[in-house]
Chains A and B, each alone.
Chain A
């Protein structure tokens, strides 16, 4: 039993996208193949690697563990939306990852950027343990994680500094 394609309307990085999608289409595939936003990477497709993490209505979500129809009416932010929401400039966190060599191949980076951006908004001064726990949900095979932890700590410190 399958239904005809279902009409959806999703706001992605501030732009509205209307489409008709099969019920089983994953949000990750919708973003990449229908909308063309290939910054959201697909690694394991079962929620473990974290590469496809986006924000849906302001909360982090594995795009591979959501159906596109579930995002109907929602506000989705992908990695492309980070700089776009920052007047086209890289965010502090993006710059910090660059400075600390927090990426090599970059496959895991979009998911880490989204999750860490979310963490820093909720916990302006996260402990090292909190950062490490966050990264337990994101598999990186290049860096050994230490430079990513340092980058997130630097971005947190810059944020705190600015808030003073």
Chain B
């Protein structure tokens, strides 16, 4: 299908983009890489009256330490030196080779796909986004970003300009994993772990799962099961974290998988991510 008739505005700067968003509000959608938005326009699941194309706004395609500009593509981020382990592991699962060349980090985060890899990693790492409007700039912690499927606390007149991915601290290891029926397709479940070790003990853990609810989730029970456990020979606490995940989440049935299978899968993926994150933490 083809998009419904619409009006196209090419933003020349962040100021120009937020002015356009301020003018058109809910009638407008921001067009970045378009790898999630354009399919919905083609299928007419979305029919915005105005598209604000930000792809030529200068300055948003830079990576500066933990700050990743909204227009950095998934492919470009993957080419960065000294890339975080969890980010590096999630990017190859994010869409396909060709879509990663256009799909942007800001777009992935702002779109709020509940099965998205990058939203889960941002949440698990305790990241944040910066949004701009005519009124100024503000930061939103990833934990306060998603309110449901494709729904965020970014307002209609705000533009996501940058994302922040905190670097691993001393003794911290991270990992990401997922299962999809076809590589690059929507995932059945994905998991991300960030684990900190000090003096042979697990002293910090953040465990996230994606694609099991209307937004990515932090699994507090899994983190609690790990914290205080031994850094070496941690099979028991990892198994407990997997069990806590399967218990804590409230997965759904669809034609790809049952809720029961999804809970089992999420637990298994948490165990895998936790094992590898812990291994990295011990050698960090």
Find B98's partner among A29, A67, A137 (CB 8 Å cutoff): A137
The reply to whether B98 and A24 contact each other, CB–CB distance below 8 Å, is no
**Residue of B38, B41, B50 with most partner-chain A CB within 10 A:** B38
Docked complex Cα distance between A47 and B185 (Å): 11
Q: Are A47 and B38 in contact (CB under 8 A)?
A: yes
Chain A residue nearest in CB terms to B98: A60
Does the CB pair B2–A137 fall under 8 Å? no
Q: How far is the CA of A104 from the CA of B102 in the complex (A)?
A: 29
Which segment, of B4-12, B131-139, B270-278, faces chain A? B4-12
Cα A64 to Cα B37 with chains together (Å): 12
Within 8 A of B (CB), among A64-91: 64-67, 69-70
Q: Is the CB of A29 within 8 A of B2?
A: yes
B99–A45 CB distance below 8 A: no
Residue in B7, B35, B97 whose Cβ sees the most chain A Cβ within 10 Å: B97
A133 near B50 (CB under 8 angstroms)? Answer: no
Q: Is the CB of A66 within 8 A of B42?
A: no
B interface residue count range (under 10 / 10 to 19 / 20 to 34 / 35 or more)? 35 or more
A113-154 to B contact mask, C-beta < 8 Å, 1/0: 001001100000000000011101110000000000000000
What is the distance, in angstroms, from A60's C-beta to the closest C-beta of chain B?
4
Question: Is B51 engaged at the interface, CB distance under 8 Å to the other chain?
Answer: yes
Instruction: Give the distance in Å from the alpha carbon of A61 to the alpha carbon of B38 in the complex.
Output: 12
Which of A1-9, A95-103, A155-163 forms part of the interface with chain B? A1-9
- A67 CA to B50 CA, complexed, in Å: 13
Nearest CB of chain B from residue A117's CB, rounded to whole Å: 12
B102–A59 CB distance below 8 A: yes
B19 to chain A, nearest CB (A): 17
- With an 8 A cutoff between CB atoms, is A62 at the interface? yes
CB nearest neighbor in A for B55: A70
CB-CB nearest in chain A for B101? A59
- Closest chain-B Cβ to A94's Cβ sits at a distance in Å of 18
Among the listed A65, A67, A136, which residue makes an inter-chain contact with B183, where contact means beta carbons less than 8 Å apart?
A136
